[in-house]
Amino acid sequence: MLQVKYAAKMPNAAPTLKVRPVRAFSDNYIWLVESPSDPSRVIAVDPGEAAPVIAELERSGASLAAILLTHHHPDHIGGVAELLGRGAISVIGPADPRIPVCTATVRDTERYDFADLGLGFEILAVPGHTLSHIAFWGHGALFCGDTLFSAGCGRMFEGTQAQMHTSLTRLRDLPPDTRMFCGHEYTVANLKFALAVDPGNVDARAYLDSVEQLRARQMPSLPSLLSLESRVNPFLRCSEPAVRRAAERQVGHPLDEPSAVFGVLRAWKDQFR
Ligand SMILES: [Zn+2]
């Protein structure tokens, strides 16, 4: 249902959104989204650090028009105050006292439009990694912070396994040609776990080969595609018999609900090396 609703709003003929990565800390990505109507203006998603964003703005000659925040963790919001010191711009994020820098807050099912930039995003509440975590979906792109990673998902710091499983299922059910921009470069480690869960997954094996080649050249593995994630990401495949059986072997008893399979996978991944 969700897929139909969003697909109806976003025709496939829309030009591909230009998004570039800015590396921060050891493995974070801050995403810079170019305005389709004025390529010299960009929106930054989850600027945990200001310095690399400022360096990229100076290198490219672009100006920062707005900031989107998915959740309150310092490696996603830590650069906001310094970036605001360079000029007043809007900061859009979830209502959470731990994010005092927002100029506007957004909630599940709302839409936020930047009319002057030709950009607009649907908001999805995706609790689990944190309770107020949100994702932004628009123009065939998903900015999902630390909820969904390529071939993996975020740790559950605040939510329940049922909440996190529901959040991931909502993201999985967006249109399959959605490009997924997440907050960290964890893809290789995630695929090693995915293959421990589901060793016969030929798509995951081929994806690991291609990602290892990219990473050897220091290239980002991202964005990913939701159509690929639905084939390789065990956390989106909790109803698949091979994934369920692997989770059941891990705990030694049957698991009836996909959310229970998810809970076992998440705990297994937490201690997987
Ligand atoms: Zn986080």
Instruction: Say whether pLDDT at 10 is over 70.
Output: no
Q: How far is the CA of 48 from the centre of ligand 1 (A)?
A: 10
Over residues 234-260, the pLDDT tens digits come to: 999 999 999 999 999 999 999 999 999
Residue 253 burial (CB count, 10 A): 9
Over residues 142-179, the pLDDT tens digits come to: 999 999 999 999 999 999 999 999 999 999 999 999 99
Q: Residue 233: what are its φ and ψ, rounded to 5°?
A: -95, 110
Q: How far is the CA of 66 from the centre of ligand 1 (A)?
A: 20
Q: How far is the CA of 225 from the centre of ligand 1 (A)?
A: 21
- In a 10 Å sphere around its CB, with 0-12 CB exposed, 13-18 middle and 19+ buried, how is residue 23 labelled? middle
Q: How far is the CA of 252 from the centre of ligand 1 (A)?
A: 31
Q: How far is the CA of 14 from the centre of ligand 1 (A)?
A: 31
Over residues 56-103, the pLDDT tens digits come to: 999 999 999 999 999 999 999 999 999 999 998 999 999 999 999 999
The closest alpha carbon to 231, from 264, 273, 201, 199, belongs to 201
Q: How far is the CA of 273 from the centre of ligand 1 (A)?
A: 20
The answer to whether 185 and 212 have CB atoms below 8 angstroms apart is no
Q: How far is the CA of 32 from the centre of ligand 1 (A)?
A: 18
Residues designated as active site: 71, 73, 75-76, 129, 146, 184
pLDDT for residue 6: 47
pLDDT for residue 15: 73
For the full predicted model, state whether its pTM sits above 0.85: yes
The answer to whether 198 and 234 have CB atoms below 8 angstroms apart is yes
